[in-house]
């Protein structure tokens, strides 16, 4: 009894001294000798009790001379996160980990890294934390939301948060399985999940573990869980109810597991998942689409997309303000995943346009938008009232041109690291790298990127809509008429994308002029001298267009 009281007294004193040390690292009273003097207890007894506390994982040991001990609970309370190691070689090593983790972690890390953490995702984060911390082993959860809204990332962050707060051990498994991968072969799907016993079916020469067993002690994430057949959903009942399951081919021997199930679906839950299964999943977390996010969150998402592309191509991007305003009004059907891909294609087009000039800064303009993307934009703004409402909001936003450098030392936005099925994050940089290494032709590079554009266009099930849904009918008509006249006079061809892009740009320009903006900027010359530009046909056409345009608007 006396020994327990003594050990508790030593730990209480170590708590106090740890607190003093973390606030003033020059005051170090963390070794057995200092504690012995302070408490009036023989050093031998203090040392023995400290080592017992170390074995109980209540203190952190720092080897060296002298050996130091730090209260784990007090240090983790200060850090608001778990300290991953129990023993350090020296005090400097501990402080490096502690200070580095303190910068990195907040009490809600990694959720706090999400765009919308304290906004549109606040309720989702609150629910996820409650589910993970619910005793004794957390609550099984279903994530619901449209494609590209970040369900895969959110599930991974649930796992990381559970490890951080100590609900799961640092080596707990996190197993991901997409039920759609084998939806056309239900037997194979169930075999992957639950495994099978020897001779369970023809060809089963050996017993096999399933993913359920692999996830024991951790989290099993079932993406597109609505594709799991009713039989498979029913086989999960016993895991949820009693922590038991059967391998395929077994009927008597139950196997014990401690698995937290997190499912994700894009479909209507009530229509696609068994009611009896839903009753066993106590919590559903809904993730918002990009259209449900406010203007500030959209700005952040767009910013992070461009920042990532600057790193991907290892070049500085200068993004025109009109491009940013375009993406703020654009409503991608595929949410964040599609926004990421479309910005990547925009940057790829800009790269091709600038690469032959060997410039250090890639200028990203409205003219680099892909035709299919403009079509998609028109479709999303079919409601003219909602479009004018967004324009009204954007009038109060001061953006300006943005510049992103590849060595920008900022955190990546986790949402943008999700690998969607149609993700292009590796394709475009790889195409560019091949061009650099193999000294390929510019035409070949353009062709490959154009094929990527066509693939994206085919994957989009959106029909073309009239441009006047986002550009005033008057401005479009004027642009079209003037371009036709100038094209006939100069024997010059404009394709539909030229006309649409210019109409969109002029509509924005007219709006800015009406608001009092003034433009005196010759950066359009870019890498060329003014005398060179004036000799080019495009420049002469542009001058004539301006002359006719000013006549109309004077």
- Structural domain boundaries of the chain? 2-104, 111-288, 290-466, 471-554
Mean per-residue pLDDT, 99-118:
74
Residue 133 is predicted with a pLDDT of 92
Spatial CA neighbour of 191 closest among 253, 259, 250: 250
Residue 263 is predicted with a pLDDT of 95
Mean pLDDT of the chain: 76
Lowest mean pLDDT among 241-255, 335-349, 519-533: 519-533
Residue 9 has pLDDT above 60, yes or no: yes
Spatial CA neighbour of 265 closest among 255, 253, 273: 273
Q: 44-50 long-range CB contacts below 8 Å, 24 or more apart?
A: 45/6, 46/10, 49/3, 49/6, 49/7, 49/10, 50/10, 50/14
Residue 465 is predicted with a pLDDT of 42
Residue 181 is predicted with a pLDDT of 84
On whether the CB atoms of residues 150 and 287 are closer than 8 A, the answer is yes
On whether the CB atoms of residues 163 and 169 are closer than 8 A, the answer is yes
Residue 78 has pLDDT above 80, yes or no: no
**Rounded to an integer, what distance in angstroms lies between the CA atom of residue 259 and that of residue 301?**
34
Reduced to 3 states (helix: H, G, I; strand: E, B; else coil), residue 173 is coil
**Options 2.130.10.10, 3.10.25.10, 1.10.150.120, 1.10.10.10; CATH of 2-104:** 1.10.10.10
* Residue 122, phi-psi category: left (phi > 0), alpha (psi -120 to 50), beta (remainder): alpha
Mean per-residue pLDDT, 454-474:
50
Lowest mean pLDDT among 61-65, 100-104, 535-539: 100-104
Lowest mean pLDDT among 114-128, 314-328, 358-372: 358-372
Please report which residue ranges of 243-334 form alpha helices under DSSP H: 269-272, 275-278, 295-313, 321-329
Architecture per CATH, domain 111-288, reads as 3-Layer(aba) Sandwich (3.40)
On whether the CB atoms of residues 128 and 264 are closer than 8 A, the answer is no
On whether the CB atoms of residues 428 and 452 are closer than 8 A, the answer is yes
Residue 324 is predicted with a pLDDT of 86
């Amino acid at each position: 009894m006396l020994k327990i009281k003594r050990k508790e007294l030593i730990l209480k004193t170590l708590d106090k001294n740890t607190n003093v040390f973390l606030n003033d690292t020059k005051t170090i009273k963390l070794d057995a000798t200092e504690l012995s003097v302070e408490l009036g207890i023989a050093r031998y007894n203090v040392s023995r009790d400290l080592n017992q506390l170390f074995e109980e994982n209540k203190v952190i040991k720092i080897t060296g001379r002298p050996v130091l001990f730090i209260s784990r609970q007090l240090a983790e309370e200060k850090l608001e996160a778990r300290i991953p190691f129990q023993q350090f070689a020296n005090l400097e090593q501990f402080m490096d980990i502690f200070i580095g983790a303190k910068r990195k972690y907040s009490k809600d890390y990694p959720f706090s890294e999400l765009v919308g953490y304290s906004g549109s995702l606040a309720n989702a984060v609150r629910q996820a934390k409650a589910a993970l911390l619910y005793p004794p082993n957390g609550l099984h959860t279903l994530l619901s939301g449209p494609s590209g809204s970040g369900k895969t990332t959110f599930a991974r962050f649930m796992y990381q948060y559970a490890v951080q707060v100590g609900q799961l051990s640092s080596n707990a498994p996190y197993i991901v399985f997409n039920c759609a991968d084998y939806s056309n072969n239900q037997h194979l799907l169930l075999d992957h999940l639950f495994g099978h016993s020897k001779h369970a079916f023809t060809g089963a020469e050996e017993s096999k573990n399933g993913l359920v067993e692999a996830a024991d002690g951790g989290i099993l994430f079932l993406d597109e869980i609505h594709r799991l057949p009713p039989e498979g959903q029913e086989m999960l009942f016993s895991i949820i109810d009693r922590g038991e399951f059967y391998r395929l081919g077994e009927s008597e021997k139950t196997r014990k597991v401690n698995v937290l199930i997190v499912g994700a679906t894009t479909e209507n839950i009530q229509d696609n998942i068994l009611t009896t299964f839903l009753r066993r999943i106590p919590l559903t977390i809904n993730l918002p689409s990009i259209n449900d996010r406010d203007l500030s969150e959209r700005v952040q998402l767009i910013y992070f997309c461009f920042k990532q592309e600057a790193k991907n191509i290892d070049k500085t991007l200068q993004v025109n303000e009109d491009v940013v305003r375009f993406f703020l009004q654009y409503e991608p059907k595929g949410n964040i995943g599609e926004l990421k891909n479309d910005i990547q294609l925009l940057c790829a087009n800009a790269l091709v346009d600038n690469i032959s000039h060997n410039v250090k800064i890639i200028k990203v303009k409205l003219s680099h938008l892909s035709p299919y993307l403009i079509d998609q934009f028109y479709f999303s703004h079919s409601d003219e009232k909602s479009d004018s409402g967004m324009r009204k909001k954007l009038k109060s936003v001061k953006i300006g041109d943005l510049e992103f450098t590849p060595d920008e030392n900022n955190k990546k936005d986790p949402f943008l690291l999700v690998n969607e099925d149609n993700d292009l994050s590796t394709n475009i940089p790889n195409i560019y790298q091949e061009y650099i290494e193999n000294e390929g032709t510019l035409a070949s590079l353009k062709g490959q990127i154009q094929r990527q554009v066509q693939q994206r266009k085919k994957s989009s099930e959106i029909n073309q809509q009239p441009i006047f849904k986002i550009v005033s009918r008057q401005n479009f008509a004027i642009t079209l008429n003037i371009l036709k006249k100038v094209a006939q006079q100069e024997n010059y061809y404009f394709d539909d994308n030229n006309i649409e892009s210019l109409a969109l740009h002029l509509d924005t320009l007219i709006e800015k002029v009406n608001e009092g903006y003034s433009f005196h900027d010759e950066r359009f010359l870019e890498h060329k001298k003014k005398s060179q530009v004036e000799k080019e046909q495009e420049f002469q056409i542009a001058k004539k267009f301006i002359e006719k345009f000013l006549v109309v608007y004077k």
